[in-house]
Amino acid sequence: MLQTAIVAVRDRQRLQEIVSVLLRHGFGEIAERLTLRTWLPGRDAPLPPAVEAATPAQRLRMALEQLGPTFVKLGQMLATRADLLPPEWTRELERLHAGVTPVPWDEIASQIEEDLGAPIGAVFPGFVTEPVAAASMAQVYRAALPDGGAVVLKVRRPGLRRAIEADLRLLDHLVALASQHWPALERYRPREVMANLAAALREELDFRQEGRNTDAIAAVLAQREDVLIPRIHWAWTSERLLVMDFVQGASPGDSAAMAALGVDGPVLARRGAEAFLQMAFEGGVFHADPHPGNLFALPGNRVAFIDFGMVGRLSPRRRQQLLSLVAAIVQADADGLAAVMLDVSEGGVPDLPELSRASERFVARHAGGVHNLVQALEDLMAVVRDARLFLPADLALLFKALATADGMLRRLDSAIDLIAVAAPIVRREMLARHAPDEIAKRGKAAAAQLYGVVQDVPQVLRLVLYHLKQGKVNAQIEVQHLDRVSGALERAATRLAIAIVTAALILGLAPRLLTVGPAWHGMPVFALVGLVLAMIGLVVLLWTFRRRR
Task: Please write the tens of the pLDDT for every residue from 306-332.
Answer: 999 889 999 999 999 998 998 898 889
Within a domain: residue 478? no
Residue in 52, 2, 7, 1 with CA at minimum distance from that of residue 28: 52
Same domain for 129 and 253, yes or no, is no
Q: What is the pLDDT of residues 373-431, one digit of tens each?
A: 888 898 999 999 999 998 898 999 999 999 999 988 998 998 888 888 888 888 887 77
Alpha carbons 242 and 154: distance in angstroms, whole number: 5
Same domain for 319 and 385, yes or no, is yes
Integer CA distances (angstroms), 6 to 32, 169, 179, 240, 535, in order:
21, 11, 19, 29, 49
Q: What is the pLDDT of residues 447-468, one digit of tens each?
A: 666 666 566 667 767 666 666 6
Alpha carbons 186 and 178: distance in angstroms, whole number: 9
Same domain for 274 and 148, yes or no, is no
* CA torsion angle 282 284 287 289 (round to 10): 120
Q: What pLDDT is stored for residue 474 in this prediction?
A: 62
Return all residues near 480 (Cβ < 8 A) that are at least 6 apart. none
Same domain for 262 and 338, yes or no, is yes
Same domain for 11 and 80, yes or no, is yes
Question: What is the tally of structural domains in the chain?
Answer: 5
Within a domain: residue 179? yes
Alpha carbons 97 and 71: distance in angstroms, whole number: 10
Same domain for 419 and 340, yes or no, is yes
Alpha carbons 65 and 204: distance in angstroms, whole number: 18
What number is the average pLDDT over the span 177-188?
A: 81
Within a domain: residue 300? yes
Q: Is the distance from CB of 384 to CB of 83 less than 8 angstroms?
A: yes
> Which letter, b or e, does each residue of 510-536 get, where b requires 16 or more Cβ atoms within 10 Å of its Cβ?
eeebeeeeeeeeeebebbeebeeebee
Residue 475 scores a pLDDT above 60? no
Which CATH number characterizes residue 105's domain? Answer: 3.30.200.20
Same domain for 374 and 328, yes or no, is yes
What number is the average pLDDT over the span 173-187?
A: 83
Q: What is the pLDDT of residues 21-55, one digit of tens each?
A: 988 898 888 888 877 777 666 556 788 888 889 99
Within a domain: residue 51? yes
Confidence class for position 333, pLDDT limits 50, 70, 90: very high
Integer CA distances (angstroms), 64 to 31, 32, 60, 78, in order:
15, 18, 6, 11
Q: What pLDDT is stored for residue 3 in this prediction?
A: 44
Confidence class for position 100, pLDDT limits 50, 70, 90: confident
Q: What pLDDT is stored for residue 444 in this prediction?
A: 63
Number of Cβ within a 10 Å radius of residue 140: 15
Integer CA distances (angstroms), 76 to 396, 401, 407, in order:
12, 11, 17
Confidence class for position 338, pLDDT limits 50, 70, 90: very high
Same domain for 242 and 252, yes or no, is no
Residue 476 scores a pLDDT above 80? no
Same domain for 411 and 350, yes or no, is yes
Within a domain: residue 9? yes
Mean confidence (pLDDT) of the chain: 83
Return all residues near 209 (Cβ < 8 A) that are at least 6 apart. 203
Strand-by-strand arrangement of the 302-305 sheet? 227-228, 302-305, 295-298
DSSP secondary structure string for all residues of 494-516: HHHHHHHHHHHHHHHHHHHHTTS
Residue in 134, 136, 131 with CA at minimum distance from that of residue 76: 136
* CA torsion angle 316 320 326 330 (round to 10): 150
Q: What is the pLDDT of residues 70-85, one digit of tens each?
A: 898 888 888 888 888 8
Q: What is the pLDDT of residues 235-263, one digit of tens each?
A: 999 999 999 999 999 988 788 888 899 99
Number of Cβ within a 10 Å radius of residue 472: 8
Same domain for 45 and 112, yes or no, is no
Same domain for 539 and 463, yes or no, is no
Alpha helices in 331-478 (DSSP H): 334-344, 352-365, 373-386, 393-409, 418-433, 436-470
Within a domain: residue 412? yes
Q: What pLDDT is stored for residue 316 in this prediction?
A: 92
Alpha carbons 26 and 390: distance in angstroms, whole number: 29
DSSP state of 188: G
Confidence class for position 368, pLDDT limits 50, 70, 90: confident
Q: What pLDDT is stored for residue 57 in this prediction?
A: 93
Q: What is the pLDDT of residues 157-172, one digit of tens each?
A: 999 999 999 999 989 8
Cα three-residue angle 88-94-98, rounded to 5 degrees = 130
pTM for this predicted structure:
0.73
Alpha carbons 327 and 38: distance in angstroms, whole number: 54
Same domain for 211 and 280, yes or no, is no
Alpha carbons 537 and 526: distance in angstroms, whole number: 16
Q: What pLDDT is stored for residue 218 in this prediction?
A: 97
What number is the average pLDDT over the span 513-523?
A: 57
Query: 227 lies in which domain range?
Result: 101-156+206-246
Q: What pLDDT is stored for residue 301 in this prediction?
A: 94
Q: What pLDDT is stored for residue 342 in this prediction?
A: 93
Q: What pLDDT is stored for residue 430 in this prediction?
A: 78
